[in-house]
């Protein structure tokens, strides 16, 4: 019997599934309890807070109006993904931090984005509810007019008008005065995109987009080549924006503000001819420095006596030798810091009787720096510099998608988060704290429920934003 048993093949014991399941991950025990994990939680999202973006979109009807700027020449019976769905998907995706179209090959199955798009299932059984990267890429490559291979086109003028419409609608009544800030910035390029040039100041190949803001409101984002003057095209953009604003607010006073790159005769002359005030930085030169020589000496004496930085201001009229058509008011700041002179100048149409030299420079002009934070939000938080398409037309459309994501988050901040700790938060902070919320998604016949973490520290702000947005959307 023993010999027979030794010759028989050994029987393998069947494994215990609870111990060796390939989908169960074991970790170090805690207080005598096993720690295990598995990918069996069902439908879970990391972007539950995007529901607030959906309510914001319904409150201001942003993506619907943005989608109306496109023309869809595809055959309706063959269309799976409507333009409105794709536009919402792209704008909300950027707001949630998904900069690449490749991300949408997974996001097209996301239950929260499907809820926002109002489309839980596709018409065809072999298709996802939302569009993937290839379909969205064709949208971004849309042309001004439909062609055989590009059935979706867009109206650039309508898109530019939409930015101003949203700004005007955000005010219950016309303001007495508004300040429009202009600035140009670099958009580095790392390929052979159309319009690629080397810029000496930024020391790289780049685009030179023009941004125009009114406070936190984005009014224009114009993509430009970098082999131009920083103020190129500013007159046309300002003329378009001012005309649209004045049709709604004819009595509102408008002040244009920018750095020395915009102190150009063409722009200043246009402002003077169209009842628009301006305040621009002015690049210093020997003649300007000579004009405030006495004030620099006084500031130097004050600095030596006190051991601190000192500044004096001088208000005078001045003109260039040949480029300006008239004398204009110039304010010079004669500052000495650490023993070194730091003169600065601004040129303005505002009269001395309206505002003093010191207040003009320190309070009104220096506030221009806040616009830099808005540009950083657009480029760093919302990937406005992700212009990697081959053509400038496609890259301009990408810039507008990122800009619409900024407008959507700005509306959430303005309407839903006013007077909260997030009232002045950046787009990146709002995304991290209120949008990136994990939740278990339960879909039944009668409702879709997102079970978010009970320990979320921002529940009060979420609830307040929800109530405010629902009140406006209603």
Give the tens place of pLDDT for each residue, 264-278.
999 999 999 999 999
Residues 43-52: pLDDT tens digits?
889 999 999 9
d(CA 274, CA 393): 31
**pLDDT value at 13 more than 80:** no
- DSSP letters, 388-403, are -SSSHHHHHHHHHHHH
What value does the mean pLDDT of the chain take? 92
Q: Token digits for 170?
A: 């955000």
* E strand segments, 93-247: 152-154, 177-184, 187-188, 197-199, 204-207, 210-214, 217-222
pLDDT at residue 305 in the model? 93
Strand order across the 448-452 sheet: 44-45, 439-443, 448-452
Residue length, the chain? 474
Mean pLDDT of 303-322: 95
Question: Phi, psi at residue 329, to the nearest 5°?
Answer: -70, 130
Q: Return phi, psi of residue 27, to 5°.
A: -125, 180
Q: Is the pLDDT of residue 20 over 70?
A: no
Q: Give the residue among 35, 62, 86, 1 at the shortest CA–CA distance from 415.
A: 62
The pLDDT of residue 308 is above 60: yes
Closest CA to 207 of 191, 192, 188: 188
d(CA 188, CA 191): 10
Give the rounded percent of residues in the chain with a pLDDT score beyond 90.
86
> Angle 52-383-70 (CA atoms, 0-180°, nearest 5)?
70
Confidence band for 289, pLDDT divided at 50, 70 and 90: very high
Integer Cα distance of 79 and 429 in angstroms: 37
Provide the 3-class DSSP secondary structure of residue 314.
strand
How confident is the model at residue 441, as a pLDDT?
92
pLDDT for the residue numbered 354: 95
pLDDT in tens, 339-375: 899 999 999 999 999 999 999 999 999 999 999 999 9
Helix and strand element counts for the chain (H, E):
18, 19
Work out the average pLDDT over 302-321. Answer: 95
pLDDT (0 to 100) of residue 156: 95
Tokens of 62: 């942003």
Q: What is the mean pLDDT of residues 222-237?
A: 96
18 pLDDT higher than 80: no
pLDDT of residue 143: 82
pLDDT confidence band for 7 (50 / 70 / 90): very low
Q: Give the per-residue pLDDT at 122.
A: 86
Model confidence over 60-101: pLDDT tens digits?
999 999 999 999 999 888 899 999 999 999 999 999 999 999
Q: 37 near 428, Cβ under 8 Å?
A: no
pLDDT of 474 reads 67
Counting Cα atoms < 13 Å in the Cβ hemisphere of 25 gives 5
Beta-strand pair 344-348/277-282: antiparallel
CA distances from 421 to 44, 95, 370, 454, 458 (A): 28, 20, 19, 20, 10
Say if residue 12's pLDDT is above 90. Answer: no
Determine the Cα–Cα distance for residues 211 and 60; give it in Å rounded to an integer.
22
- What pLDDT, on a 0 to 100 scale, did the predictor assign at position 264? 97
Q: Give me Rg for the CA atoms of the chain.
A: 29
Mean pLDDT for the stretch of residues 190-219: 96
Q: 327 phi and psi, to 5 degrees?
A: -75, 145
462: Cα within 13 Å, side-chain hemisphere: 19
Residue 17 pLDDT greater than 90, yes or no: no
Three-class DSSP labels, 106-143: HHCCCHHHHHHHCCCCCCCCCCCCCCCHHHHHHHHCCE
Q: How many CB atoms within 10 Å of residue 31?
A: 4
Average pLDDT of 108-113?
92
Q: What is the mean pLDDT of residues 159-182?
A: 97
Burial class (CB in 10 A: 0-12, 13-18, 19+), 357: buried
Across the range 128-133, mean pLDDT stands at 92
β-pairing verdict for 177-184 and 253-258 = parallel
| Cβ contacts of 191 within 8 Å, gap of 6 or more | 388
Taking alpha carbons only, the member of 279, 233, 217 closest to residue 253 is 279
């Amino acid at each position: 019997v023993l010999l027979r048993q030794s010759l028989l093949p050994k029987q393998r014991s069947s494994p215990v599934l609870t111990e060796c399941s390939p989908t169960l991950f074991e970790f170090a025990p805690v207080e005598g309890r096993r720690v295990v994990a598995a990918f069996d939680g069902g439908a879970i999202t990391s972007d539950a807070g995007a529901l607030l973006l959906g309510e914001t979109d319904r409150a201001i009807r942003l993506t619907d109006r943005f989608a109306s700027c496109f023309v869809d020449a595809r055959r309706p019976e063959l269309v799976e993904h409507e333009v409105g769905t794709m536009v919402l998907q792209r704008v909300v995706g950027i707001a949630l931090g998904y900069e690449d179209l490749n991300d949408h090959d997974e996001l097209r199955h996301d239950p929260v984005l499907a809820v926002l798009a109002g489309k839980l299932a596709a018409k065809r059984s072999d298709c996802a509810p939302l569009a993937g990267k290839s379909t969205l890429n064709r949208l971004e490559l849309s042309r001004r007019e439909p062609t055989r291979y590009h059935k979706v086109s867009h109206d650039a003028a309508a898109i530019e008008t939409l930015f101003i419409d949203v700004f005007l609608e955000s005010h219950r009544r016309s303001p007495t005065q508004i300040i429009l800030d202009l600035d140009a910035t670099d958009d580095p390029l790392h390929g052979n995109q159309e319009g690629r040039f080397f810029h000496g100041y930024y020391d790289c190949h780049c685009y030179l987009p023009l941004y125009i803001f009114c406070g936190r409101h984005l009014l224009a984002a114009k993509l430009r080549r970098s082999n131009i003057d920083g103020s190129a095209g500013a007159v046309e953009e300002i003329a378009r924006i001012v005309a649209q604003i004045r049709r709604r607010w004819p009595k509102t006073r408008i002040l244009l503000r920018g750095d020395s790159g915009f102190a150009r005769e063409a722009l200043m002359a246009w402002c003077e001819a169209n009842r628009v005030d301006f305040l621009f930085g002015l690049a210093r030169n020997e003649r300007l420095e000579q004009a405030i020589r006495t004030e620099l000496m006084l500031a130097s004496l004050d600095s030596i006596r006190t051991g601190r930085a000192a500044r004096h201001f001088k208000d005078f009229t001045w003109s260039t030798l040949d480029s300006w058509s008239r004398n204009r008011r110039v304010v010079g700041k004669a500052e000495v810091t650490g023993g070194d002179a730091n003169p600065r100048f601004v040129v303005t149409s505002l009269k001395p009787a309206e505002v003093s030299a010191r207040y003009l420079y320190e309070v009104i002009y220096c506030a221009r720096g806040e616009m830099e934070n808005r540009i950083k939000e657009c480029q760093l938080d919302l990937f406005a510099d992700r212009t990697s398409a081959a053509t400038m037309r496609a890259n301009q459309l990408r810039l507008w998608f990122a800009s619409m994501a900024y407008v959507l988050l700005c509306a959430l901040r303005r309407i839903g988060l006013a007077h909260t700790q997030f009232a002045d938060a950046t787009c990146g902070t709002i995304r991290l704290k209120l949008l990136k919320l994990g939740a278990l998604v339960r879909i039944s016949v009668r409702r879709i429920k997102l079970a978010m973490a009970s320990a979320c520290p921002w529940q009060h702000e979420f609830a307040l934003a929800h109530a405010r947005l629902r009140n406006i959307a209603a």
